[in-house]
Structure 1
Amino acid sequence: MISRKFYLSLTLTALLYVFSEVIFRIGLSLVGYPFFQPARYLEKKYYPYIEAMQEARVERGGDTRNILILGGSVVNTHWSRLEMRLDTLFQKAYPAIKKFNFFNVAMPGHNSRDNLVKYRLLKNQPYDLVIFYEAINENRANNISTEMFYPDYSHIKWYDEINLLLKHPEMNVTVIPYSIHLLIKTLIDKLKHRNYISNDQVDPAYAGYGEDIKTAASYYNNLNDIARLANKKHDPLLLVKYATFFPPGITLTGEEADKKYFTPCYMVSPVTTWGKPANVAKGVRMHNAMLEKVHQEQKTGFFNMAAVMPEDSVLFCDVCHLSEPGAQRFARELSKHIVSSGVLK
């Protein structure tokens, strides 16, 4: 027969657990975590624009089409207004379709890892087309020695924090495992004096490491996971080969003088944002090769933007961002391919 002492111990353990849960939740809420749904911190801090898209009513078929855009700054709303341009072009090409709903989650600095996480956060939303365009931001992660490189990019603080959150899907039920993991990890990092590389700029002292494109396998795996999820959701996926312009015969330096080789634009990024120019060009080539490999293996849609965007300074603000004529050309070429493919009919 179970003793009274056992019941008392069980009750005290349960009370201690509940008390600890409340204390940890209060502690986390003081630094920005939602008290009742702490797992939403991933969206709240790192991808705040996703929440509205998660709640949007998205239905496939009928007289509307829903299009998701994944990528970096080149196809970000504020840099190229891609969805506005495509909407105008699609309205002319598809008179029978009343409305095109665009969900643009492409953000400056985001790489394939961010886009995989964002697509997973939108896993319950069906799309008539998913467009992926990004192959340069990954290069920042290469600027570190092989010994310090992590395939999940946790040698960059941004991804280290995101990865920890992703390891604890139970957070809305209990925050205790995550909180303990976070405390232990923080302590170990301090004791080991762990340093992270920046996700915004490249330390010249580490730029030489960028010659080894360590991100190729990670990029492939992330795109492969995006393609698999698209297949599972029955979302048509279009992988777009990345276009760049490295002025022939010119050695870029990342200095102000580089601007004379491109069209003047309001927003530009020096090539050293991603590393040494030769390493950046090499990285984009290798990432593009991985993108084509995923297309061939997963039977996704594919469009070679690099082949139809002339390497012309008139079209580029820097090695990848587009001028107004470049953005117009980009949207026309992309629209032409999508219409000819018949994916939105």
Structure 2
Amino acid sequence: MLSRKFYLSLTLFALLFIFSELVFRLALVFFGYPFLQPARYLEKKYYPYIQPMQQAKTERGDNSRNILILGGSVVNTHWSRLEMRLDTLFQKAYPDIKKFNFFNVAMPGHNSRDNVVKYQLLKDQHYDLVIYYEAINENRANNISPQMFYADYSHIKWYDEINLLLLHPEMNITVMPYAVHLLYKNVKDKLRHRNYISNDEVDPNYAAYGKDIKTAASYYDNISAIARLAREKQDPLLLVKYASYFPTGVKLTGKATDKKYFTPCYMVSPVTTWGKPENVLKGIRTHNEMLEKVHREQQTYFFDMSAVMPKDSATFCDVCHLSEQGAQRFAKELSKYVVSSGVLR
């Protein structure tokens, strides 16, 4: 009798679990989550261009090379066409290699947190070279008081949502822990009237906090994670020191009058996109120091782009984005280093 009651209870529990799982999955589908693989929501909403690359069959062998580009807008396809430029230069330098396959996941606004997540999503793919170039977007996260700053950048809504998804790798098996956690968190945020800072612009009321580069440790941790994964996958990693241009003797304001100090370009970003000019420069320098530290500790490839890029108005559209002339110089210098290092041989 006891055994029958036990099996009946077990059956009822299983049915309740299945029913609850279906209800939660259907509720999440309403918000755009895939029904069968809800964990794919991370790629679907935040990194949609990653999915084709996850499924791509990277070519292996002497006749081809696979190159991954991680970073922000400066090396994004639409801003600099870096992979097209490198392809032309590599074809000339390596006539015996028939094909260079580029996978550019550098995106405007993305910082080291995004890039470590994207690289982890591509952990099953092999690359003959991984290029990392980004050190400015991190600065947005500094524009908040020390008490409200989180090392995982969850004081920015974008990262708060991504971090929650990453906390629940079991989502494809069961969504209930995630759904309950999400509901609890949303209620808690409303009751506490929690505010998040923007990942697109800086609130002038918080800009003064950007003097303290609180992101240094986070940047170091994220770049270290990329380097560790690269070593684990045996992907050669090239860390590129960030180049910027802050005109000497000029006080940038973020207003339209700043444009006279740079080359007119189709797409530009005022320096106040990341904070006060002096804080942005300090942040870039600090992040570059962390980049070099990771290079020394983990013995990655390293190239100092800031040392070879001309610091003049003809090269830059703003403090970091490149003019056509600048983009050509950038690709040429990067290609020269890659060829001389022998990494693609």
Q: 1:344 is aligned with what amino acid?
A: L
The answer to whether residue 311 in structure 2 is matched with residue 311 in structure 1 is yes
Question: Could you say what secondary structure the match of 1:169 adopts?
Answer: coil
The residue aligned with 1:256 is: 256
The residue aligned with 2:190 is: 190
Q: 2:202 is aligned with what amino acid?
A: V
Deviations, residues 151-210 of structure 1 (Å, cap 9, x unaligned): 000000000000000000000000000000000000000000000000000000000000
The residue aligned with 2:245 is: 245
The residue aligned with 1:270 is: 270
Question: Could you say what secondary structure the match of 1:243 adopts?
Answer: coil
* Deviation (angstroms), 1:59: 3.5
* Deviation (angstroms), 1:10: 1.2
Q: 1:102 is aligned with what amino acid?
A: F
* Deviation (angstroms), 1:229: 0.2
Deviations, residues 280-325 of structure 1 (Å, cap 9, x unaligned): 0000000000000000000000000000001011000000000000
Q: 1:310 is aligned with what amino acid?
A: P
The answer to whether residue 291 in structure 2 is matched with residue 291 in structure 1 is yes
* Deviation (angstroms), 1:253: 0.2
* Deviation (angstroms), 1:3: 3.1
TM-score w.r.t. the length of structure 1 is 0.99
The residue aligned with 1:52 is: 52
Distance in structure 2 (CA, Å) of the matches to 1:2 and 1:95: 77
Distance in structure 2 (CA, Å) of the matches to 1:240 and 1:187: 42
Deviations, residues 33-53 of structure 1 (Å, cap 9, x unaligned): 000000000000000000000
Whether contact under 8 Å (1:60, 1:128) holds in the other structure is no
The answer to whether residue 254 in structure 2 is matched with residue 236 in structure 1 is no
* Deviation (angstroms), 1:2: 3.6
Distance in structure 1 (CA, Å) of the matches to 2:4 and 2:229: 52
Unaligned runs of 5+ residues in structure 2 are none
- Listed as ranges, the matches of 1:131-170 within 5 Å are 131-170=131-170
Return 247-256 or 5-14, whichever deviates more. 5-14
The residue aligned with 1:209 is: 209
Deviations, residues 253-295 of structure 1 (Å, cap 9, x unaligned): 0000000000000000000000000000000000000000000
The residue aligned with 1:327 is: 327
Distance in structure 1 (CA, Å) of the matches to 2:186 and 2:290: 35
Whether contact under 8 Å (1:60, 1:127) holds in the other structure is no
Q: How many residues align?
A: 345
Q: 2:78 is aligned with what amino acid?
A: H
The residue aligned with 1:40 is: 40
Distance in structure 1 (CA, Å) of the matches to 2:323 and 2:3: 78
The residue aligned with 2:279 is: 279
The residue aligned with 1:122 is: 122
Question: Could you say what secondary structure the match of 1:101 adopts?
Answer: strand
Distance in structure 2 (CA, Å) of the matches to 1:243 and 1:290: 15
Distance in structure 1 (CA, Å) of the matches to 2:269 and 2:177: 41
Distance in structure 2 (CA, Å) of the matches to 1:180 and 1:171: 12
Q: 1:132 is aligned with what amino acid?
A: Y
Distance in structure 1 (CA, Å) of the matches to 2:18 and 2:305: 55
Distance in structure 2 (CA, Å) of the matches to 1:151 and 1:73: 23
Whether contact under 8 Å (1:262, 1:313) holds in the other structure is yes
Unaligned runs of 5+ residues in structure 1 are none
Distance in structure 1 (CA, Å) of the matches to 2:168 and 2:16: 21
Distance in structure 2 (CA, Å) of the matches to 1:57 and 1:145: 45
Question: Could you say what secondary structure the match of 2:182 adopts?
Answer: helix
Whether contact under 8 Å (1:89, 1:335) holds in the other structure is yes
Whether contact under 8 Å (1:112, 1:134) holds in the other structure is yes
Deviations, residues 79-105 of structure 1 (Å, cap 9, x unaligned): 000000000000000000000000000
Distance in structure 1 (CA, Å) of the matches to 2:315 and 2:75: 14
TM-score w.r.t. the length of structure 2 is 0.99
Q: 2:314 is aligned with what amino acid?
A: V
Whether contact under 8 Å (1:24, 1:176) holds in the other structure is yes
Distance in structure 2 (CA, Å) of the matches to 1:235 and 1:189: 40
The residue aligned with 1:224 is: 224
Q: 1:115 is aligned with what amino acid?
A: N
* Deviation (angstroms), 1:4: 2.0
- Listed as ranges, the matches of 1:36-115 within 5 Å are 36-115=36-115
Q: 1:260 is aligned with what amino acid?
A: K
* Deviation (angstroms), 1:62: 2.4
Deviations, residues 95-132 of structure 1 (Å, cap 9, x unaligned): 00000000000000000000000000000000000000
Q: 2:8 is aligned with what amino acid?
A: L
Question: Could you say what secondary structure the match of 1:131 adopts?
Answer: strand
